[in-house]
Amino acid sequence: MSRVGKKPIPLPKGVKVTVGAELLVEGPKGKQTVPVPRGISFTQKDGVLELQRDGDDKAALHGLTRALTANAVQGVSAGFTREMAIFGIGYRCEVKGRIATFTLGYSHPIEFYLPDGVDLRVDKPAANLTPLVLTGSDKQIVGQVAAKMRALRPPDPYKNKGIRYVGEALRKKVGKTGAGGK
């Protein structure tokens, strides 16, 4: 029994849902489409969207479709935000248009192209910390861009440098000690 699929989706003001071969969700921050598998149907009443399934064999698709629809509704109404931080002396980021230029201790700067629908804001750097804020209406794309940015210089557990998510726990490791085994 899918508990996720049973939950109704409240529709905020300004969000319009059109059911067809696929679900079209339109709002102030853009529009998104959600695929509708066979056996899943929608009913909309009093500003609430509910999903039903034909049989128990569609339970997994029921929950998945509901989760994707809820993400699309939240994305076009409020949007999604992913906060990151660059740790390290001399590590920084500059944004010009759709291109973010990272200086991360390599011999060259790294140019990162931001896809359409994703915006990057670089807040004022503090002591060896540069906050980054990614925003967009598609949860999957925002998360994917954040993961690709983090992969440019993953957090180093020995020096505590690199790009990481805000709130990500990083345990500092102790380096080698001793004079060697003679």
pLDDT tens-place values along the chain, 182 residues long: 558 888 999 999 989 999 888 999 999 998 999 999 999 999 988 889 999 888 888 888 999 999 999 999 999 999 999 999 999 888 999 999 999 999 999 999 999 999 998 999 998 888 888 899 999 999 999 999 999 999 999 999 898 899 999 988 888 888 888 666 55
Same domain, 89 and 144: yes
Same domain, 89 and 65: no
What is the model's pTM?
0.86
Domain ends where: 77, 98, 133? Answer: 77
- Name the β-bridge partners of 103: 92
Using an 8 Å Cβ cutoff, are 67 and 59 in contact? no
Half-sphere exposure of 105 (CA within 13 A, CB side): 16
Domain that holds residue 125: 80-165
Does any domain span residue 66?
Answer: yes
**C-alpha to C-alpha distance for 149 and 22, rounded to whole angstroms:** 32
Same domain, 73 and 124: no
**C-alpha to C-alpha distance for 3 and 54, rounded to whole angstroms:** 15
Domain count, the chain: 2
Residue 69 makes CB contacts below 8 A (sequence gap 6+) with 9, 23, 25, 34, 49, 51
DSSP 125: P
Does any domain span residue 176?
Answer: no
Domain ends where: 77, 106, 130? Answer: 77
